[in-house]
Amino acid sequence: MMVQVQLHCLCLFTLYLTTGYGQEGRFSGPLKPMTFSIFEGQEESQIIFQFKSSPPAVTFKLSGETDGIFHIQDGLLYHSRALDRETRAVHKLQVSALDAYGATVEGPVPITIEVKDINDNRPVFLQSKYEGSVRQNSRPGKPFMYVNATDLDDPATPNGQLIYQIVIQLPKINNVMYFQINNKTGAISLTSEGSQELDPIKNPSYNLVVSVKDMGGQNENSFSDSTSVDITVKENIWKAPEPVEIVENSTNPHPIKITQVRWNEPGAQYSLVEKEKLPRFPFSIDQEGDIYVNQPLDREEKDSYVFYAVAKDELGKPLAFPLQIHVKVNDINDNPPTCPSTVTIFEVQENEKIGSNIGTLVAHDMDEANTINSVLEYRIVDQTPKSPREGLFLVQAYTGVFQLALYSLKKQDTPQYQLTVEVSDKDFKTLCHVQINVIDINDQIPIFEKSDYGNLTLAEDTVVGSIILVIQATDADEPFTGSSKILYRITQGDSEGRLGIDTDPQTNTGYVMIKKPLDFETAAIHNIVFQAENPEPLVPGVEYNASSFATFNLFVTDVNEAPRFSQQVFQAKVSEDVAIGTKVGNVTAKDPEGLDISYSLRGDMRGWLKIDPVTGEIFSVAPLDREAESLYRVQVVATEVGGSSLSSIASFHLTLTDVNDNPPRLVKEYTGLLFCYPLREAGSLIFEATDDDQQSLQGPHFTFSLGSESLQNDWEVSKINGTHARLSTKHTGFEERVYNIPILINDGGQPPLEGTVSLPVTFCTCVKGSCFQPTDHHPGMPTVGMAVGILLTTFLVIGMILAVVFIQMKNKGRDNVENAQASEVKPLRN
């Protein structure tokens, strides 16, 4: 059991003793192990506990770390001076109980006194002055020195908890703190501003005043101390070296040291990192930080490199930011000039003037542009052929521009020159080949082989397409170009274009042929002039002269020709009701030779027409009928009178227009119209009319009526539509016979025509919907013939047949109604 006792004076204790004496409690009790906590620095002479003796014990003895402070008397444990935790934080005491003879009867029993701390000690810096140094650009927050203070008070209590703080930084520019301190550990490091801005050249040393406070710096009663810290800023040697320049294609043994980097302290691990991924990376670094190029470089492959140098600690953690290394590769003249192509081709026109630019040869040099290594010089070293002489061309030394040097060239003399050109840079020479083609110009005119192609006589019926003449001109310009190709034209004597000329592109031979029929009657003589031309224009100063023209006479002879109709089909239109002898049309033909013409008709199948043999007029000779032939076609023949009696044929088409000359009629002969007798109820039937005249698109519009007024009590006609009407009975009392009903049908035409038709309607006794005639033995009635045969055989059978007939007759009324559907009779059923 833990008992805490805190007594402030004996008076209190006396009070307690008087009240609590004899009882076991917080302040008294039997001997047993106990622990007491007592603040240090308390007033002296305080009673801690009273041990009660029990016989045979009469007194107690104290031993252990009493330090002369703790005493026991009459069982009362007390200390006689103030305690000091910093001297001894825990006192381990032993108490024994003794009997009257001084012999130990109980114990020793451990009694522990813990001295509790009070803030009775100031923090103190271990040094009154600190000195340290820091590299420029050190990582922010990385400690480079420590300050350290101690406080004797219990570090487990706020009394011993210390907080560090920078109070002053000198110099302090723009109120920026370059240094910071860890308030628990006293570690001093750079702020990020300090990392960036500290510069030993500007200011190599700083002074800080650092304070330390106990009580966690929170209590205003805390103690504090301060110290001075002098800091020297040292240069950072981890810096990117100057850009390196390496001459390409070096023949020195590799690797070659080109630059170096150094970390501020020894022992860093160095490496290189590529900035861009290269097919080969020709640099390396050793553990001293020296950087090498491992092989010769080629500026023409890559003219600069950028990469990083990295320093790491032994754990592989970067010590600082990587440094960028720049390497520039310097040019040497290690590339010869190159020609733009195996052969460079220029073209020169024949009439090109001296000094004209022919073309430019642009050779290339891979070495660095705009340096002496890539400046090229051109020189012609050979010309083939050397005719008419050498030195026809010159080249400008530094531009490669070629010019005509001496005089204009003639393709006929030399069509092509080969030049060898030396192109040189500082150290190299390259030969390039230039070919110069001399191009023809149109400076030659076509010249006819002869100026007159003579006379030719042709019959006027010479077949179109016949070749009648071959002409030829020649041109001395370069073959198969627009300068030498020849186009022939007829400039006189053929204004109708009856002739044409085809040219053979290989030989320039012209074939004159007939394009349209010749005609003696319009043009018997053609005085023709041919011209030969080039499609390309001639160069200035050259013109076509008389040698480019040729003449030709064509005589056309007459041939007797058949008459010609003015058109192949003649058309005319008349009304079908024209009177006989009316002129319905005319045709005309002419004979090229001017002979008289006699007209006749052919194919007048209906004998409707005749033609006046002299005038060509056509007349009707019979009534015309559109309903028979709406378009009447005949042939007309024109025959020369005299001569060879040649003739021609044309067509004459006569269109007949309609007149209303046909009355309406029934569409067919109605024979099977019947009603079964006796009529049981009123019935009706439908009939249709038609008209042979031309009808409008909507069809005919007939009107129907009964032909006789006396029938109006028995029959009625009603129109269904333009063509159909219904005939109905008005009662059932008709006789068993045939009635012929006259019907009037009007076509409503211009003028209207009316036709009277007769509809035969039969009333008869019906058997299965058709008329049954018992008295009239029909040879085709098999039932009757069979009945007679059977009658002769047996009376019994006769009786049965009579019975059958009787039953049939009884049923006839019903059959009549049903079978009427199958005939054209439609019984009315209301």
Ligand X SMILES: *[C@@H]1O[C@H](CO)[C@@H](O)[C@H](O)[C@H]1NC(C)=O
For ligand X, the closer of residues 20 and 722 by Cβ is: 722
546 binds ligand X (CB under 6 A): yes
DSSP 605: T
Of residues 228, 403, 481, 547, which one binds ligand X by CB under 6 A?
547
For 85, 146, 209, 478, 575, the CA distances from 149, given in Å and listed in that order, are 19, 10, 14, 111, 144
CB of 300 to ligand X, least distance (A): 6
For ligand X, the closer of residues 94 and 150 by Cβ is: 150
For ligand X, the closer of residues 548 and 729 by Cβ is: 548
Q: What distance in Å separates the CA atoms of residue 95 and residue 80, rounded to the nearest whole number? A: 17
For ligand X, the closer of residues 572 and 781 by Cβ is: 572
Of residues 66, 112, 503, 553, which one binds ligand X by CB under 6 A?
553
570 binds ligand X (CB under 6 A): yes
Stretch that binds ligand X, among 76-84, 286-294, 480-488, 715-723 (CB under 6 A): 715-723
Q: What distance in Å separates the CA atoms of residue 556 and residue 517, rounded to the nearest whole number? A: 11
For ligand X, the closer of residues 148 and 430 by Cβ is: 148
**Residues in contact with ligand X, shown as a per-residue x/- string from 2 to 41 under the rule CB under 6 A:** ----------------------------------------
User: Tokens for 335?
Assistant: 């590339």
Torsion of CA 773, 775, 776, 779, to 10 degrees: 100
For residue 95, give the H/E element and its range: strand 90-99
CB of 624 to ligand X, least distance (A): 19
User: Tokens for 605?
Assistant: 């199948």
761 binds ligand X (CB under 6 A): no
Of residues 121, 648, 723, 816, which one binds ligand X by CB under 6 A?
723
User: Tokens for 501?
Assistant: 């000329």
252 binds ligand X (CB under 6 A): no
For 694, 777, 778, the CA distances from 774, given in Å and listed in that order, are 49, 7, 9
Torsion of CA 447, 453, 459, 464, to 10 degrees: -10
Q: What distance in Å separates the CA atoms of residue 364 and residue 606, rounded to the nearest whole number? A: 99
DSSP letter string, 782-824:
HHHHHHHHHHHH-HHHHHHHHHHHHHHHHHHHHHHHHHHTTSS
Q: What distance in Å separates the CA atoms of residue 795 and residue 61, rounded to the nearest whole number? A: 177
For ligand X, the closer of residues 343 and 369 by Cβ is: 369
For ligand X, the closer of residues 34 and 725 by Cβ is: 725
Residues 6+ apart with CB under 8 A from 696: none
CB of 763 to ligand X, least distance (A): 24
Residue found under tokens 């402070």: 69
For ligand X, the closer of residues 213 and 262 by Cβ is: 213
**Residues in contact with ligand X, shown as a per-residue x/- string from 313 to 352 under the rule CB under 6 A:** ---------------------x------------------
CB of 443 to ligand X, least distance (A): 9
Stretch that binds ligand X, among 258-266, 540-548, 596-604, 738-746 (CB under 6 A): 540-548
For ligand X, the closer of residues 362 and 720 by Cβ is: 720
Q: What distance in Å separates the CA atoms of residue 69 and residue 484, rounded to the nearest whole number? A: 144
Distance of CA 542 to the CA centre of its chain: 58
Q: Is 292 exposed, middle or buried (0-12, 13-18, 19+ CB in 10 A)?
A: middle
User: Under rule CB under 6 A, which residues in 432-451 are in contact with ligand X?
Assistant: 445
CB of 630 to ligand X, least distance (A): 21
Under 8 Å between Cβ of 363 and 339: yes
Determine how β-strand 549-557 pairs with β-strand 452-459: parallel
Q: Provide the edge-to-edge strand list for the sheet that holds 179-181.
A: 145-146, 187-190, 179-181
Classified as helix, coil or strand, 79 is strand
For ligand X, the closer of residues 126 and 800 by Cβ is: 126
CB of 225 to ligand X, least distance (A): 13
Of residues 108, 217, 359, 769, which one binds ligand X by CB under 6 A?
217
User: Under rule CB under 6 A, which residues in 171-190 are in contact with ligand X?
Assistant: 183, 185-186
CB of 675 to ligand X, least distance (A): 19
Of residues 586, 630, 703, 705, which one binds ligand X by CB under 6 A?
586
User: Tokens for 246?
Assistant: 């390496």
Q: What distance in Å separates the CA atoms of residue 32 and residue 299, rounded to the nearest whole number? A: 97
CB of 543 to ligand X, least distance (A): 9
Classified as helix, coil or strand, 19 is helix
3-state secondary structure 430-441: EEEEEEEEEECC
For ligand X, the closer of residues 231 and 618 by Cβ is: 618
For ligand X, the closer of residues 121 and 723 by Cβ is: 723
Cα angle for residues 153, 154, 155 (degrees, 5° grid)? 110
545 binds ligand X (CB under 6 A): yes
Stretch that binds ligand X, among 54-62, 83-91, 137-145, 719-727 (CB under 6 A): 719-727
For ligand X, the closer of residues 53 and 180 by Cβ is: 180
Q: What distance in Å separates the CA atoms of residue 475 and residue 443, rounded to the nearest whole number? A: 10
What is the Cβ-side half-sphere exposure of residue 508, based on CA atoms within 13 angstroms?
24
CB of 368 to ligand X, least distance (A): 12
For ligand X, the closer of residues 586 and 660 by Cβ is: 586
Q: For 209-365, where are the alpha helices, taking DSSP H only?
A: none
Q: Is 731 exposed, middle or buried (0-12, 13-18, 19+ CB in 10 A)?
A: exposed
Of residues 304, 721, 756, 770, which one binds ligand X by CB under 6 A?
721
584 binds ligand X (CB under 6 A): no
Of residues 133, 249, 284, 551, which one binds ligand X by CB under 6 A?
249
Q: Count the residues of the shown chain that bind ligand X, applying the rule CB under 6 A.
A: 29
Q: What distance in Å separates the CA atoms of residue 128 and residue 148, rounded to the nearest whole number? A: 10
For ligand X, the closer of residues 517 and 699 by Cβ is: 699
3-state secondary structure 181-211: ECCCCCEEEECHHHHHHCCCCCCCEEEEEEE
For ligand X, the closer of residues 147 and 624 by Cβ is: 147
User: Under rule CB under 6 A, which residues in 108-167 are in contact with ligand X?
Assistant: 126, 146, 148, 150, 163
CB of 251 to ligand X, least distance (A): 8
Of residues 34, 97, 246, 587, which one binds ligand X by CB under 6 A?
587
Classified as helix, coil or strand, 217 is helix
| Other CB atoms within 10 Å distance of the CB of residue 800 | 12
Stretch that binds ligand X, among 105-113, 398-406, 488-496, 545-553 (CB under 6 A): 545-553
CB of 94 to ligand X, least distance (A): 34
CB of 437 to ligand X, least distance (A): 25
246 binds ligand X (CB under 6 A): no
CB of 642 to ligand X, least distance (A): 23
Cα angle for residues 78, 84, 90 (degrees, 5° grid)? 70
Of residues 68, 279, 454, 594, which one binds ligand X by CB under 6 A?
454
Under 8 Å between Cβ of 413 and 433: no
**Residues in contact with ligand X, shown as a per-residue x/- string from 280 to 299 under the rule CB under 6 A:** ------------------x-
Classified as helix, coil or strand, 286 is coil
703 binds ligand X (CB under 6 A): no
CB of 722 to ligand X, least distance (A): 6
Interacting residues with ligand X (CB under 6 A):
126, 146, 148, 150, 163, 183, 185-186, 217, 249, 298, 334, 445, 454-455, 545-547, 553, 570, 586-588, 686, 699, 720-721, 723-724
